[in-house]
Structure formats: structure tokens, C-alpha cells
Amino acid sequence: MLVLGIDTSCDDTSAGVVTGDLAILSNVVSSQDEVHTKFGGVVPELASRKHLENIIPIVDSALVKAGVALKEIDIIAVTKGPGLVGSLVAGISAAKAISLALQIPLLGVNHLEGHIASSLLTKNPPPPKFPFVALVVSGGHTSLYLVKKDGEGEGGTIEYVLKGQTLDDAAGEAFDKVAKLLNLGYPGGRLIEKAAALAHDAGWEGVTFPRAYLKKGSFDFSFSGVKTSVRNYIKASEKDGDLDDELKGRIAQGFQEAVVEVLAKKSISLVLTEGVDTLVVCGGVAANGRLREVIFEGAVEHDIRVVIPKRELCTDNGAMIGAVGVLRANEARLDNLSMNAISRLKI
């Protein structure tokens, strides 16, 4: 089986080819960072226009790198939501056109399920075994799921039980907003991590910001408070003059620690509460090196196995959508052409 996965949920145009045994033959991603940097964030209309320009060349490139022809593809899997509607429509329209022209079965995929499925594409470490806890942490989402499978083999049904989610900003969104407050640029996640690492290496102590754990036993998240604390700290500091690189680094380090600590502690706590032995961390923020360090440190203490995909599989990509296509191959249909983009879509 060969599955072509397409993702245009936000500002990355991506396509990949995955085999029936979840081997990646190709995974091509075209970033729009250069387009949106000057605006300090993603501009939806510009994103959708770039997707229209990029989608066919990216699909062609994925096929060439995989060494397969379009007529050899068995299933086309495309993100139908959640995401930016204009961006989603660009990918869905291309997938529908290919499906109709070549009579290839089509499958609409939930973007969040794609992120979780990216953990199944890992070879080292080996993929997780069901059941497991998954932390999906990105620019638009911060959620904890208990992932279970009913039945064995390919016929089993996967169930995603939502156990916690952000009540306001997603973690990645908070990173972007704080980076903007510090005039670091876009995308914020990588720039905050870089500034924090430089501060740490220089021996500068991070500023202490509050951690929002909410009520006892809650697995929900809230990052608006720490973001507001950073804003207030910056305003107070600016009264004494412009922020220098040292203070920016100390703020970035302290903010990152506040977010990472809450993500790690709540995720590990849910693993222990549910009595499973594996934690999957996925989504764009899972590429953050400090988050990985803290997660692994906490997991070792409690003998928990952690699976985090390679960094290129953490950000939005077509291979993870193709992986869902493999898992849900029996749902692909030639008559799925009525499928529409859904900006807010639950698993």
C-alpha cells in the first residue's frame, strides 16, 4: 500500500508518501516563514495564496523523492481540519482533483490525529504500544489524550479520549506572543529557545514567572497568565531603559521554564493516573529541546517510556497525514468528494 499524505492546515505546504507498514518514502515541506516574518505571525490570506502556488510542485517533489508515480498511489489522505479554512481548502481541492482524475480513494484526516500518528513513524525509539498518553503541543493546540485501541491488528479501532486542554492560549501561541513582546521575531518558538539557551550558557539566571496548575487533579492548561506576567515585567523594565540582550535572554529563559515545567508535570501525572507506561509528545513545540530534556528527566524518575518523533516530524508534515491514511485505509472512498474544510474539528 502507498499513501500520499497532504497537509496545508496552516502555513506549511507539505506532502509525503508512506507505505502500508508505516515507512516514510518521502516527506517534503515548504515553509512560509519568510512570507509571514514581516507581519510577526501568520496572515491567513497570504498563507492560502502561497499554498495554491506550492501544492502541485510539492506533491510532484514528494512523488519524485519516493520514486513512485501518481498512478501507483492507493490512497490520498488530506487534512480536512482543524486549521485555517483558506489553507485547508487549498490542500483539499488538490487532493479532490487528483482523486477524481485518477480514481484514487480519498480520505479526510484530522490534523491532531496526524500529529499523534507521527509517533508511529519512529523507528528509533520504536513506536508506542497502545494504550498511551499523548501530549499534542503546537501553535494552535495544547491537549492531553489517552489513546486506546479496541482490537488487535489492522482491524482495531483507535480511540482518543481528551483528558485535558488549554483554556486559553496554546503553548506555541504563547511562545510566539512572548517573542513578539521581546522583539525577537517570528517564528517565536525557535527564537525563544535560542535566546534562553544563550542566557543559560552565559550563566544568566532566568526571571521567575508563575506556573498555572489550576485546580488540584486538573489536566487542563492555561498560559495567558504567564504571558501577561511577561508583558508586565517588560513594561516595568522598559521604564529603566531599553531591554538589552541579557535581560531578553533571562526573560526568555524564565518564560520557557514556566511553560515547559507545567507541560511536563501534567503529562507525566496523567500517565501515572491512567496506569499506562508510555508518553508520546508531538506537535511543533515538541521540537523544543528544553521541553524534551524536562520530559525525559521526569520520565526516568517514574520509569515512563517517552516517544518523541524526530524534529522534522514534529512540525506540520505530509508523512504524518499519510500515516493516518494507513491506519484508516478502510475509510478511504472515491465518493469522498463532498468533504469540506472544518476549521474547528475534534478527533
Q: What is the DSSP letter of 126?
A: P
Nearest of 234, 232, 231 to residue 248 by alpha carbon? 234
With cell 518523533, the residue in question is 309
Q: Which residues does residue 93 pair with via DSSP β-bridges, in sequence order?
A: none
96-119 burial, b if ≥16 CB within 10 A, otherwise e?
bebbeeeebbbbbbbbbbbbbbbb
Q: What are phi and psi of 28, to 5 degrees?
A: -110, 130
Q: Are 234 and 248 in contact (CB under 8 A)?
A: no
Cut 0.85: pTM above it: yes
Pairwise CA distance, residues 82 & 346, whole Å:
8
Residue 23: C-alpha distances to residues 2, 17, 305 (Å): 10, 9, 22
All structural domains of the chain, each given as residue ranges with its CATH number in brackets, are: 2-122+316-338 (3.30.420.40), 171-307 (3.30.420.40)
Q: From first to last of its 347 residues, what are the pLDDT tens digits of the chain? A: 999 999 999 999 999 999 999 999 999 999 998 889 888 889 999 999 999 999 999 999 999 999 999 999 999 999 999 999 999 999 999 999 999 999 999 999 999 999 999 999 988 889 999 999 999 999 899 999 999 998 665 557 899 999 999 999 999 999 999 999 999 998 899 999 999 999 999 999 999 999 999 988 999 999 999 999 999 999 999 876 678 999 999 999 999 999 999 999 999 999 999 999 999 999 999 999 999 999 999 999 999 999 999 999 999 999 999 999 999 999 999 998 999 999 999 88
